[in-house]
């Protein structure tokens, strides 16, 4: 289990994560829709996450969402690396009603994000542009290469939820144990 905290003038975050245990997760960022997305992420990835964030949401949700992405990414990096005896690559297409989103990822220890999710506006009071900010912060701090690609859909809530779930399922698949592969790289290290 990894425990991290981050405190700035904008946010105060505490995080506990275990990628090998799917115990009940407790998430409270003060942003209802974001909590809902993170709950979907941990449920479908099979990881355990306890996350508490107190942020300057009286200004807007940006700092809280981005800083949670930073902390979750840092926790994932500590949990995953040095990598050995896992599949390394994962992909998933998740549908929610009319929406479909594909995620392909590589536990490469080389952070990179391709984000092609064309949603704008708000879901409730949540600015949907923050989804990209979250995944950018997460990938940059986790060492994961991640491609998130919109396939179809019209409902913003469905598209965003499919995005979080596609990432979760791809991560779960990448973390599947594979003792035969050893270190999953011809370089001998990731």
- For 56-107, how does the pLDDT look when each residue is reduced to its tens digit (9 = 90+)? 999 999 999 999 999 999 999 999 999 999 999 999 999 999 999 999 999 9
Q: Residue range 139-168: average pLDDT?
A: 98
Instruction: Note whether 68 and 39 are within 8 A (CB).
Output: no
pLDDT score of 151 more than 80: yes
Quote the tokens at residue 185. 């790289």
Instruction: Note whether 126 and 34 are within 8 A (CB).
Output: yes
Query: What does pTM read for this prediction?
Result: 0.96
DSSP 2-69: EEEEEE-SSEEEEEEEETT--PPPEEE-S-HHHHHHHHHHHHHHT-EEEEEEEE-TTT-SHHHHHHHH
| CATH no. of 2-181 | 3.30.230.40
Domain ranges of the chain: 2-181
**pLDDT value at residue 185:** 87
Q: Residue range 130-143: average pLDDT?
A: 98
**pLDDT value at residue 21:** 84
Q: Percent helix, strand and coil across the chain, each rounded to 5?
A: 35, 30, 30
Q: Could you identify the residue written with the tokens 């200004």?
A: 59
pLDDT score of 154 more than 90: yes
**pLDDT value at residue 24:** 83
Q: Could you identify the residue written with the tokens 């449920």?
A: 43
Bridge-based pairing of strands 26-28 and 48-55 is parallel
């Amino acid at each position: 289990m990894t425990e991290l905290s981050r405190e700035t003038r904008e946010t105060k975050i505490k995080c506990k994560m275990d990628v090998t245990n799917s115990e009940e997760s407790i998430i409270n960022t003060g942003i209802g829709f974001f909590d809902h997305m993170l709950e979907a992420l941990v449920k479908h990835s099979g990881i355990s996450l306890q996350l508490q964030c107190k942020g300057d949401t009286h200004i807007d949700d940006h700092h809280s969402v981005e800083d949670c992405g930073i902390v979750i990414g840092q926790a994932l990096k500590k949990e995953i690396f040095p990598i050995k005896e896992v599949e390394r690559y994962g992909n998933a297409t998740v549908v929610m009603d009319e929406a479909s989103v594909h995620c392909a990822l590589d536990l490469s220890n080389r952070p990179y994000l391709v984000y092609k999710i064309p949603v704008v506006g708000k879901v409730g009071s949540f600015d949907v542009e923050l989804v990209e900010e979250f995944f950018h912060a997460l990938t940059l701090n986790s060492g994961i290469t991640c491609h998130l690609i919109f396939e179809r859909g019209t409902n913003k809530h469905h598209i965003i939820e499919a995005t979080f779930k596609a990432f979760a399922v791809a991560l779960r698949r990448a973390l599947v144990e594979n003792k035969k592969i050893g270190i999953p790289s011809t370089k001998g290290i990731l």
